[in-house]
Amino acid sequence: MAELVTTAAKLDAWRATIPGKRVAFVPTMGALHEGHIRLVERAAEIADAVVVSIFVNPTQFGKGEDFERYPRTLENDLALLGDLADVVYAPSVEDVYPPDDPPVVTSAGPAGAGFEGASRPGHFDGMLTVVNRLFDIVRPDVAVFGQKDAQQVFLVKRLAAERGSPEIDVVRTVREDDGLARSSRNRYLSAEDRAAAVAVPAAVWAVARDIEAGVSAALASGRAVLASQPLARLDYLELVSPTDFTPVGEDFHGVATLVVAARFGNTRLLDTETITVP
């Protein structure tokens, strides 16, 4: 079983026992599922020791969002992790954001203003602020993130480059048997909405299938899939450049990132895929 620590001081004490070891870090907000476990398994493959954080970060939830109802399942999370991680860091808000040492707010800038940033103003500033703080506390050599949150991955990679560390390793989206991307928020879906949500991966596959017809045609195919599902409310479906996270034009050729967000009931689902535009 992973060692549970709840303060940065105790994490420092553990860190002092493994000098010279390569440390991998998997930051999470808990409510772990098989997608998270794949990240932890990947971390164990590329490092000597693994730290998983479980911290529901208040600064990345906007007004009216689900901070209070976000699932907190530490006991179950520890059981699911077993001995896959060496340490689980599950701090209080005060440990991450000490009143006498407030963190520097890290701005996402223009790259964080669109897509999820447009729907959740301030979300990415809060996310980057806590990730920056956790990097300072954990001091990892490499951090592992999931592909599904593509805009987050883009911004974290930029942050790590600006800091000079850590390395960022990205793991492909883990999916349910019917293709739906695994997410802690899937548990909020009603049975009817869960059945309808397969339209999201179907839209992703439609874009990949039709990309040879051009960017506009492929995106139209993906949007048509979601438009045909009456329970789906599409927020966006776009192909973006991996260099600046802005939508690509019809004249784009190369590797692009497909990003999708749709709501089913009160639950917002994300998906992504890497698409090569011929």
Ordered by start, the domain boundaries in the chain are 3-171, 184-277
* Equal fold, 3-171 vs 184-277: no
Cross-strand pairs, 169: 144
Tens-digit pLDDT string for the chain (278 aa): 899 999 999 999 999 999 999 999 999 999 899 999 999 999 999 999 999 999 998 888 776 666 777 778 999 999 999 999 999 999 999 999 999 888 888 999 999 999 999 988 888 999 999 999 999 999 999 999 999 999 999 999 999 999 999 999 999 999 999 999 999 889 899 999 999 999 999 999 999 999 999 999 999 999 999 999 999 999 999 999 999 999 999 999 999 999 999 999 999 999 999 999 99
Q: What are phi and psi of 132, to 5 degrees?
A: -60, -45
Q: Which residue has the tokens 């002092």?
A: 16
Chain centroid, CA 20 distance in Å: 29
In this structure, whether the domain defined by 3-171 belongs to CATH 3.40.50.620 is answered with: yes
Q: Which of 33, 36, 123, 253 is catalytic?
A: 36
Cross-strand pairs, 255: 276
Q: Is 123 designated active site?
A: no
Fold topology of 184-277: Pantoate--beta-alanine Ligase; Chain: A,domain 2 (3.30.1300)
Pairing assessment for the beta strands 167-171 and 232-240 based on DSSP bridges: unpaired
d(CA 216, CA 275): 13
